[in-house]
Amino acid sequence: MIVPKSDLKSAAQKRWDVVVVGAGNAALCAALSARESGADVVMIEAAKPDQRGGNSRFTDGAIRLAHGGLPDLRSLIPNLTDEEAARIDLEPYPIEAFVNDMMRMSGGRTKENLAIRLAEQSTDTVRWMLSQGVEFELIFDNQAVREEGRYQFWGGLVLRSVGRGVGLTDRLFARAKHLDIPIVYGNAAVGLLREGPTITGVIVGPSQIQFDCGAVVLACGGFEANPELRSMHLGSKWKNVIVRGTPYNTGGGLTMALEAGAVQSGDWTGCHSVAMDQGAPEFGDFAIGGDIFKKHSYPYGIVVNQNGQRFVDEGADFRNYTYARYGRALLEQPGGIAYQIFDQQVESLLRSEYFGKNSTGYESPSLQALANQLDIDQKAFLRTVTHYNQAVQNKAYVPHVLDGKGTKGLSPPKSNWALRIEQPPFRAFPVRCGITFTYGGVDVGEGGEVLDDGGAPIPGLFAAGEMVGGLFFNGYPGGSGLASGAVFGRISGLHAANKASQNRNV
């Protein structure tokens, strides 16, 4: 239910139970959960309706959850037929594996209590999302390899929302409309109201309209779209990077929370960033409705910089465990660009984005002819490929497992899926760093309450989604962003509603 501009002041005249700031996945889950708990909820969103949904709208909808294998997942994907199911190999992904992945990716720095809560509640939360109207499907194209008529899933990540991020957010918005949750668009929250230590409302928009309420859930993203804050926290190189998603996540929620006494949590110098097509726009394009510029198939080839040198282990792990830190590695290369190089053998494994009309790529019958088209030290590049080819070990090539088919005596090594680059045509794709979201956030308690520097809850203030700090450091298991938004959004919504009802009854 859109609140028209003319009704903004009257919407603000009423006292709300819960004000949710933002309208991405985390905010929508918080609002729906608060509404289900009986609260009178309003959402405040900086973007206009045609740019709503935040980063969540740009996602592939891939969502990580703990599960017991295909039989366990089938209730979440009712459209899967028995015939299809019979052709699928998909390992269980227990809660412990999810927690281990979170801890492994962060080098043990993730707050374990958050990782456990995320993993333990992931399955039930996805089931709850299903009950809210979100549909799910298996990720056959990007998380499975087809071999001898069977689909072999890999990397722990198996499920996505039908229609990807657009489908996910459309369904959640439809549910919000069904539950009569009003949404104020085109107005950013700019401040919090407080009485003593208690947060009592939100200041909205350039006219500073005050929304009084019993509890506030801040779910309005990180600071990835703010060049000054990026420069301040991540380093000056980050000032001019591609922003993969919404331009509205400029750190306003974090600033408001910190001003209210919240303690910083997590890795404020870190972010999720990936390889993007060199020609990607400055921000995500809502009209396209998704990210068609990512370049995620590097484990099947090699990546070289303008000096013609490799600089990462392209096969260190499955793509969804390495891609989030390789954007940073790219940014550190001369000119901030690199080329992903493939030969014909892996063409069928490249993601569809590589062949779209917006993809920048070069193809040639020889490596020399390919090099002629690139802004690269040609001799060094050809030497790199020769050395790489010589270092490749003869072993079975199996793309859906960590096959150990690596290089010997090469630095950096390629640890898995090392095929010689020898079959024409050869392809090169120029890539730059694109930031997805920032890792720094605020500390939250068990119910999503924002904590102060003494570890005490700031009464009436909750946070969810990218604003929750302490989950991600350095690496990131793909699909955890949506899982975190949904799990912590749902928790915050419930507890904000409870808090508001306590306030009502005082």
Ligand X SMILES: Cc1cc2nc3c(=O)[nH]c(=O)nc-3n(C[C@H](O)[C@H](O)[C@H](O)COP(=O)(O)OP(=O)(O)OC[C@H]3O[C@@H](n4cnc5c(N)ncnc54)[C@H](O)[C@@H]3O)c2cc1C
Q: Please state the length of the chain.
A: 506
Residue placing its CB nearer to ligand X in the complex, 67 or 414 = 67
Residue placing its CB nearer to ligand X in the complex, 147 or 282 = 282
320 binds ligand X (CB under 6 A): no
11-19, 52-60, 315-323, 451-459 -> range binding ligand X (CB under 6 A): 52-60
326 binds ligand X (CB under 6 A): no
Query: What is the footprint of ligand X within residues 152-211 (CB under 6 A)?
Result: 188-189
Token output for 384 = 């790199």
Question: Total binding residues for ligand X by CB under 6 A?
Answer: 43
The binder of ligand X chosen from 436, 438, 492, 498 (CB under 6 A): 436
465 binds ligand X (CB under 6 A): yes
The phi and psi torsions of 330 (rounded to 5 degrees) equal -65, -45
Beta bridge partners of 147: 150
Token output for 449 = 């309450």
Residue placing its CB nearer to ligand X in the complex, 214 or 485 = 485
Residue with the two structure tokens 């089931």: 127
The binder of ligand X chosen from 248, 354, 362, 388 (CB under 6 A): 248
Give the angle 46-482-265 at the CA atoms, nearest 5°. Answer: 75
Contact 34, 496 (CB under 8 A): yes
Contact 422, 389 (CB under 8 A): yes
Residue placing its CB nearer to ligand X in the complex, 225 or 338 = 225
The binder of ligand X chosen from 3, 32, 62, 216 (CB under 6 A): 62
228-236, 238-246, 314-322, 439-447 -> range binding ligand X (CB under 6 A): 238-246
The binder of ligand X chosen from 121, 466, 471, 490 (CB under 6 A): 466
399 binds ligand X (CB under 6 A): no
DSSP alpha helix (H) spans, 44-153:
54-58, 70-73, 82-85, 95-105, 112-131, 140-143
DSSP structural state of residue 317: S
Distance CA 258, CA 442 (A): 8
Token output for 82 = 């028995």
267 binds ligand X (CB under 6 A): no
Q: State CA 506 to chain mean position distance.
A: 40
Residue placing its CB nearer to ligand X in the complex, 54 or 308 = 54
CB atoms within 10 A of CB 363: 15
Distance CA 371, CA 377 (A): 8
114 binds ligand X (CB under 6 A): no
Residue placing its CB nearer to ligand X in the complex, 99 or 302 = 99
Contacts of 228 (CB under 8 A, 6+ apart): 239
Torsion of the alpha carbons at 299, 303, 309 and 315, rounded to the nearest 10: -10
Q: What is the smallest separation between the CB atom of 241 and ligand X, expressed in angstroms?
A: 12
Token output for 299 = 């484990």
Q: What is the smallest separation between the CB atom of 468 and ligand X, expressed in angstroms?
A: 8
DSSP structural state of residue 328: H
457 binds ligand X (CB under 6 A): no
Residue placing its CB nearer to ligand X in the complex, 61 or 156 = 61
Residue with the two structure tokens 């600071």: 223
- String marking each residue 404-423 x if it binds ligand X according to CB under 6 A: --------------------
16-24, 171-179, 226-234, 425-433 -> range binding ligand X (CB under 6 A): 16-24
327 binds ligand X (CB under 6 A): no
58 binds ligand X (CB under 6 A): yes
Distance CA 290, CA 288 (A): 6
The binder of ligand X chosen from 12, 23, 73, 115 (CB under 6 A): 23
Taking each continuous run of H as one helix and of E as one strand, the counts in the chain are 15, 22
Which residues of this protein are in contact with ligand X, per CB under 6 A? 21-27, 44-47, 54-56, 58-63, 188-189, 219-221, 244-246, 248-249, 252-253, 284, 291, 436-437, 465-466, 479-482, 485
